[in-house]
């Protein structure tokens, strides 16, 4: 970048000398890197005027190709250097560029004093002793070696896996720590609790928190309080797809086992404290807010292209980072909000285009941001340094590595190590327990043909669709990557199987597959998320729902019926705010889950009217008995069980207690099915999810 050598610039206590590449504050040198200096010079030379992003790229990065993130990071660093506080020095012009708003005075360079030249020595006479010359040479070599060592890029490394927990229960992030104990979620999504364990390992104990399905959001800077949210029924099923209620309230829990209180009137999907504990930031749906620590005086900072989670404030207080979930593609990515400027931008936009990034945390010194990234089905932990465009991989192994957290001293990395595996199990009423079924294969979404001779299922975790005879013979794989199958159902004539494809990176689509194999065809040619197909008993129609993942608007919710001959779609009257329908085997009823109020709704095709059943119950998967007299369903929450409701009078009885039963499967273990004789089926969790620690070093 060419500079003007005949003038200097003064603004306030600052003096910028382009010729000497020097920034002075009250006469003291303030070191700046080359690109950072050039960015400041462009602003100073155009003080009071807008400098577009294109102009910065032309002036500062003319010899290279970089993303807008490099400019954003330079501006962020300059704001810190210049003390950009309540009265901003650098103004952001949204989507355009930046403007230096402080007055600048250009002055001609003075020639009265010739600046000293680094490395110039006074003339001397005579010769130096040889020993002194050798000492000087040796000293110069040492200094040169130190300079080279200091310039060598350092990166973060993780080593020495140590298992911290060993209780066999599923673990849920985030993990946080007060330096003595680790705090985390435990159990399946159907019935989640909060737990604690020593940072050095040992017994896992429950946190006495009076909430159903609580989840940790962050730990306070003083390490004595937790931000806690909830996905349980007390928040009106906020984790249910298509949830149309309000955002769940934000709670504060005192450690190690004290009081639980509301964080003012704040409702949040994610929350974090500022480094000094005086403020909070939180996410409500697709909006990021900044507020006082009691939740008051909230101001919106940014709008997001999806639902935000895992919000974290940088240790220096200059910006926020979070995970954003894209409901259209089913993928997540990392985003950043610079403070005090408004607006959010994506990190690593071109780095992992076919995968997902999630769940980041800062190292205590703010030098690295550690996160998990999934690519081609494998999840590992990575670290991103400030100003870097490529992260460094920290883990590599057979397990998936999830939910990274760096301890308060920065010496340990904690994560969840996961090996997914399930065992298909049938409930034995006489024994009162679940026992292996179909040789205990790792499969879910099991469905039987109407004649009871064939079975279709989806392997876990591969999500591949198979079919075979009931005895396991004539086994045939029906789908392969990139298709990821869920919820197959046999057609009444046994010739086709319908399911929906949940492959990441594209909308979920309902497909029709010949039961003897072939190419699946889409049910509809639309770009919306479709889910849970259910055949009419005559085989002429399929009921389904659109699936606005994590979206809090009911516009798409409802039960829709497709005529397979015309492919026309009609919405079942009165089905607003309903989803996941199941047609009764006799064709008289349609049952669907309700978001408001909680429970089930039953549609009678004879009377063409809806009725409420299983009121105020946190309902999971639903299945009809073979004679259409009963509905079996999962009750979620703190008292998980499988219940049976008699149709149409609504009498309910418990069939199986699920307390202590480990479940797994698609989206955390929601599935429950029935055999042809109406025996209960679930996928038990026989995999591994434990917390591990690693040593962190920089090399």
Q: How far is Cα 323 from Cα 318, in angstroms, rounded to an integer?
A: 18
Angle between helices 53-60 and 68-82 (to 10 degrees): 90
CA max distance for the chain? 116
Which percentage of the chain shows pLDDT scores above 90?
56
The kind and range of the H/E element at 43 are: helix 34-45
Q: What is the 3-state secondary structure (H, E, C) of 375-411?
A: ECCEEEEEEECCCCCCCEECCCCCCEEEEEEECCCCC
Q: Is the pLDDT of residue 484 over 50?
A: yes
> In the structure encoding, which two tokens stand for residue 659, read together?
């307390």
Per DSSP, 20 falls in state T
Residue 497 is predicted with a pLDDT of: 98
Residues 516 and 512: their CA atoms lie apart, in Å, by 12
Give the CA angle between residues 123, 126, 128 to the nearest 5°. Answer: 95
Residue 333: how many CB atoms within 10 A of its CB?
24
pLDDT, greater one: 1 or 525: 525
Among left, alpha and beta (phi > 0; psi -120 to 50; other), residue 446 is: beta
Please give the Cα distance from 502 to 626 (Å, whole number): 28
Look at 459-463, 508-512, 554-558 and tell me which has the smallest mean pLDDT. 554-558
Q: State the Cα–Cα distance between residues 61 and 217, nearest whole angstrom.
A: 39
Percentage of the chain surpassing pLDDT 70? Answer: 87
Q: Can you name the residues that pair with 630 across neighbouring β-strands?
A: 646
State whether the Cα torsion 302-306-309-310 is positive or negative: negative
CA angle centred on 151, ends 147 and 154, rounded to 5°: 135
Q: Which of 251-265, 482-496, 620-634 has the lowest mean pLDDT?
A: 251-265
The residue among 190, 270, 281 whose CA lies nearest residue 228 is 270
Question: Above 70 in pLDDT, residue 246?
Answer: no
Question: Residue 384 — pLDDT band, cuts 50, 70, 90?
Answer: very high
Q: Which of 58-67, 159-168, 537-546 has the lowest mean pLDDT?
A: 58-67
DSSP output for 236-276: TSTTSTT--SPPPEEEEEETTT--EEEEEEEE-SEEEE-TT
Residue 167 burial class via C-beta count within 10 angstroms: exposed 0-12, middle 13-18, buried 19 and up:
middle
Q: What is the pLDDT of residue 467?
A: 97
pLDDT in tens, 335-354: 999 998 778 999 998 898 77
- Minimum mean pLDDT among 242-251, 279-288, 494-503, 580-589: which range? 242-251
Q: How high is the pLDDT of residue 354?
A: 76
Distance CA 429, CA 679 (A): 9
pLDDT score recorded for residue 138: 46
Closest CA to 293 of 284, 285, 282: 282
Q: How many helices (H) and strands (E) does the chain have?
A: 4, 56
Higher pLDDT, 31 or 290: 290
pLDDT of residue 346: 94
Nearest C-alpha neighbor of 203 from the set 695, 578, 699, 691: 691
In the block, residue with structure tokens 């005559």 = 538
Banded pLDDT at 134 (limits 50, 70, 90): very low
25, 14 in Cβ contact below 8 A? yes
Dig out the tokens for 479 from the structure: 């789908």
Determine the Cα–Cα distance for residues 175 and 243; give it in Å rounded to an integer: 26
The model's pLDDT over 197-238, given as tens digits with 9 standing for 90+, comes to: 999 998 999 998 888 778 999 999 999 999 999 865 444 333
Q: Which has the higher per-residue pLDDT, 622 or 123?
A: 622
pLDDT of residue 151: 46
* Average predicted confidence (pLDDT) for the chain: 85
Q: What is the pLDDT of residue 66?
A: 56
The pTM assigned to this predicted structure is 0.64
- Alpha-carbon span 617 to 636, nearest angstrom: 8
pLDDT of residue 126: 40
489 contacts: CB under 8 Å, gap ≥ 6: 447, 456, 497, 498, 499, 533, 534, 535
The residue among 395, 334, 341, 326 whose CA lies nearest residue 362 is: 334
- Pairwise CA distance, residues 672 & 426, whole Å: 10
Q: Residue 345, Cβ neighbours under 10 Å: how many?
A: 14
**pLDDT tens digits, one per residue of 295-332:** 999 999 999 998 899 999 999 999 999 999 887 677 89
Residue 129 has pLDDT above 90, yes or no: no
Task: Give me the DSSP letters along 108-162.
Answer: EPP-SSPPPPTT------S---HHHHHHHHHHHHHHHHHHHHHHSPP-EEEEEEE
Type and span of the H or E element at 38:
helix 34-45
Q: Is the pLDDT of residue 153 over 50?
A: yes
User: Strand 673-674 to strand 356-362: parallel, antiparallel, or no bridges (unpaired)?
Assistant: unpaired
Residue pair 288/319 in contact (Cβ under 8 Å)? The answer is no
Residue 113 pLDDT > 60: no
Q: What is the mean pLDDT of residues 673-681?
A: 96
Does residue 662 register a pLDDT over 90?
A: no
- How many angstroms from the chain centroid is the CA of residue 590? 34
Dist CA 474 CA 394 (whole Å): 44
Distances in whole angstroms, Cα of residue 541 to Cα of each of 46, 454, 535, 560, 567: 67, 22, 6, 10, 9
Mean pLDDT of 50-63: 84
| DSSP E strand boundaries for 475-608 | 476-477, 485-490, 496-501, 509-514, 521-522, 530-535, 541-546, 560-563, 569-571, 578-583, 589-594, 599-604
CA–CA gap between residue 581 and residue 645 (Å, rounded): 16
Q: Give the span between the Cα atoms of 240 and 593, in whole angstroms.
A: 10
């Amino acid at each position: 970048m060419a500079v003007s050598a005949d003038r200097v610039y003064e603004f306030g206590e600052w003096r910028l000398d382009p010729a000497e590449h020097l920034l002075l504050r009250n006469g003291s040198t303030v070191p700046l890197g080359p690109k950072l200096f050039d960015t400041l010079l462009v602003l100073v030379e155009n003080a009071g005027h807008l400098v577009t992003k294109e102009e910065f790229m032309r002036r500062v990065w003319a010899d290279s190709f970089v993303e807008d993130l490099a400019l954003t990071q330079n501006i962020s660093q300059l704001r810190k250097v210049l003390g950009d506080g309540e009265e901003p020095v650098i103004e952001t012009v949204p989507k355009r560029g930046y403007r230096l708003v402080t007055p600048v005075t250009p002055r001609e360079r003075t020639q009265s004093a010739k600046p000293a030249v680094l490395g110039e020595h006074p003339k001397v006479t005579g010769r130096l002793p040889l020993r002194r010359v050798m000492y000087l040479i040796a000293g110069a070599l040492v200094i040169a070696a130190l300079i080279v060592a200091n310039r060598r890029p350092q990166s973060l490394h993780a080593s020495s896996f140590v298992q911290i927990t060993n209780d066999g229960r599923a673990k849920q992030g985030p993990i946080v720590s007060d330096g003595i104990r680790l705090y985390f979620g435990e159990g399946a999504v159907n019935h989640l609790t909060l737990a604690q364990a020593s940072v050095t390992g040992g017994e896992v104990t429950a946190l006495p928190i009076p909430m159903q399905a609580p989840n940790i959001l962050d730990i306070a800077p003083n390490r004595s309080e937790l931000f806690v949210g909830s996905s349980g029924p007390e928040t009106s099923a906020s984790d249910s797809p298509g949830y149309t209620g309000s955002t769940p309230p934000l709670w504060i829990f005192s450690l190690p086992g004290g009081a639980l209180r509301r964080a003012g009137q704040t409702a949040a999907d994610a929350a974090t404290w500022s480094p000094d504990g005086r403020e909070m930031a939180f996410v409500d749906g697709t909006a990021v807010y900044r507020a006082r620590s009691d939740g008051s005086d909230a101001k919106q900072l940014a709008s997001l292209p999806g639902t935000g989670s895992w919000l974290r404030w940088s240790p220096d207080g200059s910006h926020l980072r979070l995970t954003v979930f894209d409901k259209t593609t089913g993928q997540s990515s990392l985003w950043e909000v610079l403070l005090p400027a408004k607006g959010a931008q994506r990190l690593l936009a071109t780095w992992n285009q076919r995968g997902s990034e999630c769940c980041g945390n800062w190292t205590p010194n703010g030098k690295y941001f550690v996160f998990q990234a999934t690519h081609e089905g494998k999840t590992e932990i990575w670290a991103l340094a400030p100003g870097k465009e490529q992260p460094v991989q920290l883990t590599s192994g057979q397990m998936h590595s999830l939910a990274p957290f760096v301890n308060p001293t920065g010496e340990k990395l904690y994560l969840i190590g996961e090996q997914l595996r399930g065992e298909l199990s049938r409930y034995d009423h006489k024994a009162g327990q679940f026992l292996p079924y179909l040789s205990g294969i790792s499969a879910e979404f099991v469905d039987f043909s109407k004649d009871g001779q064939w079975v279709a299922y989806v392997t876990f975790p591969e999500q591949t669709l198979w079919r075979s005879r009931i005895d396991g013979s004539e086994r045939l794989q029906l789908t392969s990557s990139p298709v990821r199958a869920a919820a197959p159902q046999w057609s009444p004539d046994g010739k086709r199987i319908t399911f929906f494809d949940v492959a990441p990176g594209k909308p979920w689509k309902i497909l029709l597959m010949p039961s003897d194999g072939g190419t699946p065809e889409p049910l509809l040619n639309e770009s919306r998320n479709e889910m849970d197909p259910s055949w009419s008993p005559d085989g002429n129609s399929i009921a389904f729902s659109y699936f606005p993942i994590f979206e809090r608007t009911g516009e798409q919710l409802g039960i829709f019926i497709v005529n397979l001959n015309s492919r026309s779609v009609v919405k079942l009257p009165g089905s607003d705010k309903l989803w996941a329908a199941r047609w009764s085997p006799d064709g008289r009823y349609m049952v669907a889950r309700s978001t408001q109020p909680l429970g089930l709704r039953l549609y009678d095709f004879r009377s063409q009217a809806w009725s409420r059943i299983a009121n105020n119950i946190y309902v999971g998967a639903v299945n009809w008995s073979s004679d259409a007299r009963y509905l079996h369903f999962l009750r979620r929450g703190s008292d998980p069980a499988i219940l049976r409701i008699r149709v149409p009078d609504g009498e309910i009885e418990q069939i199986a207690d699920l307390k202590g039963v480990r479940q797994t499967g698609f989206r955390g273990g929601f599935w429950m099915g029935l055999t042809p004789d109406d025996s209960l089926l679930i996928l038990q969790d026989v995999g591994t999810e434990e917390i591990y620690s690693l040593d962190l070093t920089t090399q």
